Chain A
């Protein structure tokens, strides 16, 4: 018998009796979305730029490029000084990646990002900037998981702040293996 079949046949001897799938019906606490999102993002060490939209983001990018930093933008209407390279490994020296956030979650500050080409982009960049439409904000994860879609071969990720660790004596250090900072521009 294959291992698959032997596992499935062993499962038929389970002592548990069938339990129905619960109805997931959680009331949404009415809260101002932008303010709640801003507070959550601060909790996870992200920085929010609430006003100024994409123009403010381009101004920021211009400022970064003037300092000779390597900026890759995949957001339409915002241009950096680097093009998408042919291999993912060539992204290792990117100082700032500017990506599109597709949906923001107010309860935890998480932002859905999906990436098909060079899926490592949101992680390998030294710093990450996300452009997020204000109208994409939802209250909680129940709403979020219903709205995101997973394309085949794509990576979909909820990003909540910059990478962090507390593995040495529980001291919080921002900047572990992924991006060392996260800025979010609402538009």
Chain B
């Protein structure tokens, strides 16, 4: 499996997907595990009569906030300051990491306990802090598993979804000293609880991501099921929270709407176990919030791409995606996989292949709790790649030809009739090579009697 996320080798989506698909049983298992989440999500959504109304509200309140972001960010900062929270601004990942390091260095922090934050993954913060001698302990169970295994996350909500319990059992046996051959999830979870409790009690600082930042309160909201964010943020005297500029919402009413859809859409739960509101440091403590841009304002300059900033990171689009479920989280050449990963990561993708890791079926857009038009954004990325002359492999060569070909009735009709004839008279083995990548997992079609135009003229045009 290391082949999937190692730095060497081709990072083109179809190549990585090929590697993932070698083990057919595992692919089926992976796909089913994710589909189970989609089914739970459907049941949770159906239990709320006003579900569609909530999606519409979620979409509009995020759009409203994004279109008034300057005001809301400044209001949020002012309210934070009034609550005794230190606010930092970072243009990019590098500046974010440096700010974090400076805060930690001032407090001589040796051990940092961290709960899930896709932003810190995006900024590659852990390796940076480790280089500076700080022990970073990921405390979400899934994240701890992949940290011990030295892997990146393969899903934004369930980061170790690609691992089987036997693999986790073996990993814990080697790293945490659990019994050999033991793979019971309850036993392994309890072992991780004991292991991480010791880390929480001896940490010098804690860091969390932010699900929502409430502008008029100067408070951040952190949602977890495990309680790891709260065990961290409330034990050591120093708490840090990193957030993208897109995490701001105007007020508690807005947070109320998103708290109704977030967990339901992620895992089918009515709400996460803990939705914690932090409005200032604990007695004698310090609280820092780092507001990060890292490409988001750039995205906002494009009307279509800007809508991807409505995302609340529930992971619903990953669970429903037919491509993600069968190609895995490591095939996207970006920290965030799946449809939302393409939407926010395609610009960074040096292989220029991930906008094509999509069938444009639109299922992601249909399940999104804030109505991010993911399929439209992905199609737009294809256009941008073409406009920037960065179409992948053959596409820049043959797509213009296909376009010209399909625009001409004569060329289209002549060659299609030739193809129908060939399908009827020539052996499949001779024709198959011409179908290219399309034919890799498909059989050639049976040739129809006539073209659609001929059929229509005969049967319907009278």
- Are A153 and B164 in contact, with the CB atoms below 8 A? no
Instruction: Give the residues from 138 to 187 in chain B that come closer than 8 angstroms, CB to CB, to chain A.
Output: 139-142, 145, 158-161, 163-165, 168, 185-186
- Are A16 and B300 in contact, with the CB atoms below 8 A? yes
Residues of A within 8 A of B283 (CB): 116-117, 153
**Known contacts being A7-B245, A151-B279, is A178 close to B274, with CB within 8 Å?**
yes
Which residue of A20, A88, A108, A124 contacts B271 across the interface (Cβ within 8 Å)? A108
Which residue of A6, A21, A27 contacts B61 across the interface (Cβ within 8 Å)? A21
Q: How far is the CB of A11 from chain B (nearest CB, A)?
A: 5
**Known contacts being A26-B53, A165-B189, A178-B227, is A158 close to B201, with CB within 8 Å?**
no
Among the 9-residue stretches A56-64, A68-76, A169-177, the one with 4 or more Cβ atoms under 8 Å from chain B is: A169-177
- Are B228 and A152 in contact, with the CB atoms below 8 A? no
Chain A interfacial residues counted at CB < 8 A: 77
Q: How far is the CA of A137 from the CA of B217 in the complex (A)?
A: 24
- Confirm or deny: A13 has a beta carbon within 8 angstroms of a beta carbon on chain B: yes
Q: How far is the CB of A154 from chain B (nearest CB, A)?
A: 7
- In the complex formed, the residue of B with least CB distance to A17 is B67
B 127-144 to A, binary, CB cutoff 8 A, 1 in contact else 0: 000000000000111100
Residues of B within 8 A of A152 (CB): 83-84, 279-280
- Are B226 and A157 in contact, with the CB atoms below 8 A? no
Residues of A within 8 A of B158 (CB): 166-167, 170
- Confirm or deny: B366 has a beta carbon within 8 angstroms of a beta carbon on chain A: no
Q: How far is the CB of A52 from chain B (nearest CB, A)?
A: 26
- Are A177 and B231 in contact, with the CB atoms below 8 A? yes
Residues of B within 8 A of A155 (CB): 230, 234, 276-278, 282
- Are A110 and B275 in contact, with the CB atoms below 8 A? yes
- Are A153 and B282 in contact, with the CB atoms below 8 A? yes
Residues of A within 8 A of B141 (CB): 165, 167-168, 176
- Are A156 and B279 in contact, with the CB atoms below 8 A? yes
Instruction: Give the residues from 70 to 95 in chain A that come closer than 8 angstroms, CB to CB, to chain B.
Output: 88-89, 92
Residues of A within 8 A of B300 (CB): 10-11, 13-16
Residues of A within 8 A of B293 (CB): 3, 7, 10
- Are A3 and B270 in contact, with the CB atoms below 8 A? no
- Confirm or deny: B112 has a beta carbon within 8 angstroms of a beta carbon on chain A: no
Residues of A within 8 A of B226 (CB): 163-165, 176-178
B 329-363 to A, binary, CB cutoff 8 A, 1 in contact else 0: 00000000000000000000000000000000000
Q: How far is the CB of B233 from chain A (nearest CB, A)?
A: 8
**Known contacts being A2-B89, A7-B245, A165-B226, is A176 close to B193, with CB within 8 Å?**
yes
Instruction: Give the residues from 87 to 135 in chain B that come closer than 8 angstroms, CB to CB, to chain A.
Output: 89-91, 95
- In the complex formed, the residue of A with least CB distance to B29 is A169
Q: How far is the CA of A141 from the CA of B54 in the complex (A)?
A: 12
**Known contacts being A3-B90, A160-B273, is A171 close to B301, with CB within 8 Å?**
no
Q: How far is the CB of A112 from chain B (nearest CB, A)?
A: 9
Q: How far is the CA of A171 from the CA of B231 in the complex (A)?
A: 23
B 233-272 to A, binary, CB cutoff 8 A, 1 in contact else 0: 1110000000001000010111111011000000101111
Among the 9-residue stretches B68-76, B424-432, B439-447, the one with 4 or more Cβ atoms under 8 Å from chain A is: B68-76
Q: How far is the CA of A173 from the CA of B278 in the complex (A)?
A: 27
Q: How far is the CA of A138 from the CA of B228 in the complex (A)?
A: 28
Instruction: Give the residues from 131 to 148 in chain A that come closer than 8 angstroms, CB to CB, to chain B.
Output: 140-142, 144-146, 148
- Are A88 and B250 in contact, with the CB atoms below 8 A? no
Residues of A within 8 A of B201 (CB): 89, 92
Of A123, A152, A155, A173, most buried by chain B (CB within 10 Å of CB) is: A123
**Known contacts being A19-B64, A152-B83, A160-B272, is A176 close to B253, with CB within 8 Å?**
no
- Are B217 and A150 in contact, with the CB atoms below 8 A? yes
Of B139, B273, B278, B282, most buried by chain A (CB within 10 Å of CB) is: B273
- Confirm or deny: B57 has a beta carbon within 8 angstroms of a beta carbon on chain A: yes
- In the complex formed, the residue of A with least CB distance to B255 is A145
- Confirm or deny: B66 has a beta carbon within 8 angstroms of a beta carbon on chain A: yes
- Are B69 and A21 in contact, with the CB atoms below 8 A? no
**Known contacts being A10-B298, A107-B270, A162-B273, is A169 close to B164, with CB within 8 Å?**
yes
- Confirm or deny: A66 has a beta carbon within 8 angstroms of a beta carbon on chain B: no
Residues of B within 8 A of A26 (CB): 50, 53-54, 57
- Are B91 and A168 in contact, with the CB atoms below 8 A? no
Q: How far is the CA of A124 from the CA of B201 in the complex (A)?
A: 10
- Are B193 and A175 in contact, with the CB atoms below 8 A? yes
Q: How far is the CB of A34 from chain B (nearest CB, A)?
A: 17
Q: How far is the CA of A163 from the CA of B269 in the complex (A)?
A: 13
**30 A-B residue pairs with CB within 8 Å:** A7-B89, A7-B291, A11-B245, A13-B297, A13-B300, A17-B67, A19-B67, A21-B64, A24-B257, A44-B271, A89-B235, A122-B230, A142-B260, A145-B256, A146-B256, A152-B83, A155-B230, A156-B276, A157-B275, A158-B271, A159-B274, A160-B270, A161-B273, A164-B226, A166-B225, A167-B145, A167-B158, A169-B165, A171-B165, A178-B273
Which residues in A have some Cβ–Cβ distance to B below 8 Å? 2-4, 6-8, 10-22, 24, 26-27, 29, 40, 43-44, 88-89, 92, 105, 107-110, 116-120, 122-124, 140-142, 144-146, 148, 150-171, 173, 175-179
Besides A24-B253, A26-B53, 10 other A-B contacts (C-beta < 8 A): A19-B64, A24-B254, A26-B54, A92-B197, A145-B252, A159-B274, A160-B274, A168-B189, A175-B190, A177-B228
Which residues in B have some Cβ–Cβ distance to A below 8 Å? 33, 36-37, 48-50, 53-54, 56-57, 60-61, 63-64, 66-70, 73-74, 77, 83-84, 89-91, 95, 139-142, 145, 158-161, 163-165, 168, 185-186, 188-190, 193, 196-197, 200-201, 217, 219, 225-228, 230-231, 233-235, 245, 250, 252-257, 259-260, 267, 269-283, 291, 293, 297-298, 300-303, 306
A-B pairs with the 6 shortest C-beta distances? A178-B227, A176-B226, A108-B270, A10-B297, A167-B142, A120-B234
